Amino acid sequence: MKNNAVLKIVALVVAFFIFLYLIITNFYTEATSPTENTLSAQEKQDGWVLLFDGETTNGWHMFSKPNMKHAWKAVNGELTTSTNDTSGTHGDIVTDGLYENFELVFDWKIAREGNSGVFINVQDDTSYIATWATGPEYQLLDNPNMQPGYLDGGKKGAGALYGLVPLKTRVEPNPAGEWNNSRIMQVNGKINFWLNGVMTCEEQIGSERWMGLVANSKAAVFPDFSKSTKGHIGLQDWAKGVSFRNIKIRII
């Protein structure tokens, strides 16, 4: 009887330590498993490709100056730049590759009073003054802390097709320092923007309506603005600081 009691106690102790081991192992695995800047097996099968590996700035270069050391860095799994960083030249960076019909998704967070953007169809050429001289912009902004009037009726708010048209559906970004999720799709010149799951833009590049929007905007002074529906994707280094992660694209 005593032997049976001892065996039961031993079995319970062993079971307890096995249970404790499984809990600790599972916790450690969840805590250390890379969940950011990775692709699932299904995403790979669907044709998604990472534009940021989480560790380097490979695949990106300074607009019109591919050999210049820029101020963008990979830090803690984020592609980031800050006005306080003086270790490189500040400016917009663009993808090494060109894209035409695609779906692009990315997470972003912005500093307080921050102002940035993502450009599409950028022509990476020294004859152009900047990314925004040729490529339409998906606006990234700390809406609540902008000066009065800056949002321009929604044309310059986060998720907007910058300076051209107000948001299709009103939506506010998460506060400065918190992550947002955005999506851009372009198919045969038709562009759609989403911010945190809400569609904010739906326009056709080259249409009569589009030409009117451009003509009544500051972009009208740039003769090649949006003339191409194929180009580089650009990230804007404009004010305060901005960070990106999970930047992925698939060709449509």
* Cα 216 to Cα 100: distance, rounded to the nearest angstrom: 26
Residue 235: name the closest of 151, 129, 115 by CA. Answer: 115
DSSP state of 247: E
Residue 136 CA to residue 203 CA, distance in Å, equals 11
CA-CA distance, 108 to 179, in Å (whole number)?
Answer: 5
Look at residue 14 in the predicted model and tell me its pLDDT: 47
Fold category of 36-251 in CATH: Jelly Rolls (2.60.120)
Q: Which two tokens stand for residue 176?
A: 């400065």
Show Cβ contacts of residue 66 under 8 Å, excluding neighbours closer than 6 positions: none
192 Cβ contact list (under 8 Å, min separation 6): 183, 184, 185, 186, 199, 201, 202
CA–centroid distance for 228 within its chain: 22
Closest CA to 180 of 151, 224, 136, 140: 140
**What letter represents residue 216's amino acid?**
N
pLDDT averaged over consecutive 10-residue blocks of the chain (252 residues)?
A: 52 50 44 76 98 98 96 97 87 98 98 97 97 98 95 95 97 97 98 98 98 98 98 95 98 98
Residue spans of the domains in the chain: they are 1-33, 36-251
The pLDDT value given to residue 9: 56
Take residue 243 and report the two structure tokens written for it: 């960070």
Q: How far apart are CA 141 and CA 110, in angstroms?
A: 7
pLDDT for the residue numbered 25: 43
Instruction: Give residue 85's pLDDT.
Output: 84
pLDDT score recorded for residue 246: 98
Beta bridge partners of 181: 107
**pTM of the predicted protein model:** 0.86
10 Å CB burial of residue 87 (0-12, 13-18, 19+) is exposed
